[in-house]
Amino acid sequence: MTKAVTCISPIDGAVYAERTCLEPDAARAIIDAAHAAQTAWAATPLSQRIAYVQKAVAHLGATTDRMVEELAYQMGRPVRYGGEFGGFEERASYMASIAQEALAPIVIEDSETFLRKIEREPVGTVLVIAPWNYPYMTAINTIAPALIAGNTVMLKHASQTILVGEHLADAFKAAGLPEGVFTNVVLDHDTTSTLIAEGRFRLVNFTGSVDGGRAMERAAAGTFTAVATELGGKDPGYVRADADLNAAVDTLIDGAMFNSGQCCCGIERIYVHESLFDGFVEKAVTLVSSYVLGDPRDPATTLGPMANTRLAAEVRAQIDEAIAAGATPHITTMPADDEAAYLTPQILTNVTHDMRIMRDETFGPVVGIMSVKDDEEAIRMMNDSQFGLTCALWTRDADAAQSIGRQLATGTVFMNRCDYLDPALCWTGCKDTGRGAGLSILGFHAVTRPKSYHFKKVTT
């Protein structure tokens, strides 16, 4: 029986898009074509590969109005925020700008007697499995460096944002990319696992849930296929006694609530020095109470629905469990809350780490806030998590932030900001957040392999 994937719009629960999944043999034929195209693509001069990627980015930039509208329908992001092209372009352009340096040989010796060097070669065909929450930006994190480095790429996008993969394929086709170098596919989970288990890819890059990451690693077991995973987090913020309170509230609460809280590196728990705790909570409640929950197509809406009702139900369950266990809610139910995808944002105090709201990934517009007496307690609380993606420290003391950061099990340490991917820095995590390296020079290392050359020159 032929399977299909369906995008149910969170706006109204209607079917927005539906696509038929590829049968396994059809998918194998596409992979074979990608393998066949890879040798010639890798032999294409680096400058030309960069130009292809830049041309595709420019093509996508000419369709931003469509991007904004479709993201509202597919995953509920309000149109007032303007889509994702800014971040998409920033990341692709930065990776293009550093490619020459990142892929340059490391020459140990080039003398009359020896040439010793390390070069970087593309791994081959890369499977990118992209998520729906930032569907353009997360995909380009790997697609751009993989193509620039000489790999061929197959993209499997999330069903919630199935049109994004098609538009990326259209952009690369418009850029003139040779046949087979970039392909968008629609696959069900079983076929995806089967293809990985057959060793048909040299790298699988997966962004999604912890269970999804485990499925990728199980499928690849014994094939020696590299698997890079970014599996989300329970990212903390810490407001020290010397922090700029207004800036901390504005930025941390935005980091918790933007995109309806559906951010891998969104702020999900906040620890505030006891001297600032009451003021922080008061300002945070005032800010969140001013949000307008509603139809993402309305420019007045500041908070749209969650991407689907299943995710919203999990967020509500965590909130209800916390309140039943003694947590205090501070935000009154908003008129647009429909007990389905439209979910009132929430701030909780009197929370503890015994509650799932402070322990499990919530991935919704809610944050728990706790008082701490000093750095030592804050460090202990921030590290008390199975995840390790980012943390955000609010302080005027950079030396203190550096000291605290070195004691945290996390991939990125922010000071006086949060919820941002700097393409010049490595995007990575630890613990159940997964493993891998995206963006920066290390992003190129992740999609290439080292090859050493040791030449003893003939002398007479």
Confidence of residue 459 (pLDDT cuts 50, 70, 90): confident
Structural domain containing residue 287: 235-422
d(CA 358, CA 361): 8
d(CA 287, CA 204): 41
The phi and psi torsions of 443 (rounded to 5 degrees) equal -65, -35
Please check the confidence at residue 2 and state whether its pLDDT lies above 90: no
Q: What is the CATH number of the domain that holds 354?
A: 3.40.309.10
The pLDDT tens digits of the residues spanning 226-277 come to: 999 999 899 999 999 999 999 999 999 999 999 999 999 999 999 999 999 9
Please check the confidence at residue 164 and state whether its pLDDT lies above 70: yes
Residues 243 and 159 in one domain: no
How many domains are contained in the chain? 2
Please check the confidence at residue 294 and state whether its pLDDT lies above 90: yes
Residue 428 lies in a domain: no
pLDDT at residue number 456: 97
- Residues with Cβ within 8 Å of 168's Cβ and at least 6 positions away in sequence, in order, are 56, 60, 136, 139, 143, 155, 182, 184
Residues 257 and 124 in one domain: no
Residue 429 lies in a domain: no
Residues 130 and 255 in one domain: no
* pTM for the model: 0.97
- To which residue do tokens 């390390």 refer? 118
Residue 294 lies in a domain: yes
Please check the confidence at residue 326 and state whether its pLDDT lies above 80: yes
In contact, 139 and 130? CB cutoff 8 Å: yes
Residues 113 and 178 in one domain: yes
d(CA 302, CA 294): 8
Quick one: average pLDDT of 36-62? 98
pLDDT at residue number 323: 98
Could you tell me what percent of the chain has a pLDDT over 90?
99
The pLDDT tens digits of the residues spanning 351-384 come to: 999 999 999 999 999 999 999 999 999 999 999 9
pLDDT at residue number 115: 97
Please check the confidence at residue 1 and state whether its pLDDT lies above 70: no
The pLDDT tens digits of the residues spanning 199-238 come to: 999 999 999 999 999 999 999 999 999 999 999 899 999 9
d(CA 449, CA 432): 25
* Active-site annotation, residues: 230, 264
Residues 392 and 439 in one domain: no
Residues 57 and 199 in one domain: yes
Residue 394 lies in a domain: yes
Mean of all residue pLDDT scores within the chain: 97
**Which tokens belong to 291?**
């949000």
Q: What is the CATH number of the domain that holds 443?
A: 3.40.605.10
